[in-house]
């Protein structure tokens, strides 16, 4: 009886390509799914100290959705590096100006803050619109439950109603 555990090396990893259509998807749910695929956590050979992740292409990022009042209240802050250089921009303005940045920041914020996390982030491609230049890699659509759409209420039938 030979019980062995295979330890993968980082040399011969077959990376898959996935495409996510962000139309109508909730930002946080899309980001958690994408981050776990980028980190390789969906891979059965997942090893924490090796970048086992696959490539993710996100399209239609301008059609992303936030729940509740977040779209009117959420602020994005960045620092220019100069004194007094704190810049704030609302979600609505950033969505109009650079929707790719919203999705990129949400996904990258869920990856490790290390060299390996930055390497994982290089496998993320985000595009405005439904066109992307990665058709040669034959990306497979990645489907997941990412909608907070209200469930259809069941219709009640009464015998007394005519």
At residue 12, the pLDDT reads: 86
At residue 159, the pLDDT reads: 55
Q: Where are the domains of the chain?
A: 17-68+99-141
Q: What percent of the chain has pLDDT over 90?
A: 78
- Read off the pLDDT band of 158 (50, 70, 90): low
pLDDT at 144 over 90: no
At residue 157, the pLDDT reads: 55
Q: What is the DSSP string of 56-77?
A: EEEE-GGG-B--TTHHHH-EEE
How far apart (Å, rounded) are the C-alpha atoms in residues 139 and 124?
13
Q: Which CATH number fits domain 17-68+99-141: 1.25.40.20, 3.30.379.10, 3.90.1180.10, 3.40.50.720?
A: 3.90.1180.10
- Read off the pLDDT band of 8 (50, 70, 90): confident
Beta strands 17-21 and 86-90: pairing type?
A: unpaired
At residue 142, the pLDDT reads: 92
How far apart (Å, rounded) are the C-alpha atoms in residues 132 and 53?
20
pLDDT at 156 over 70: no
């Amino acid at each position: 009886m030979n019980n062995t555990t295979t330890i993968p090396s980082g040399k011969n990893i077959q990376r898959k390509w996935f495409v996510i259509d962000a139309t109508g998807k909730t930002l946080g749910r899309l980001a958690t799914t994408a981050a776990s695929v980028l980190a390789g956590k969906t891979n059965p050979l997942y090893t924490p100290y090796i970048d086992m992740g696959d490539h993710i292409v996100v399209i239609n990022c301008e059609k992303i959705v936030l729940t509740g009042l977040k779209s009117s209240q959420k602020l994005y802050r960045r620092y220019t590096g100069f004194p007094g250089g704190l810049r704030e921009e609302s979600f609505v303005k950033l969505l109009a100006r650079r929707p790719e940045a919203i999705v990129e920041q949400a996904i990258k914020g869920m990856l490790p803050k290390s060299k390996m996390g930055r390497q994982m982030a290089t496998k993320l491609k985000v595009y405005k619109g439904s066109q992307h230049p990665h058709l040669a890699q034959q990306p497979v659509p990645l489907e997941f439950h990412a909608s907070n759409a209200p469930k259809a209420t069941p219709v009640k039938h009464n015998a007394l109603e005519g």
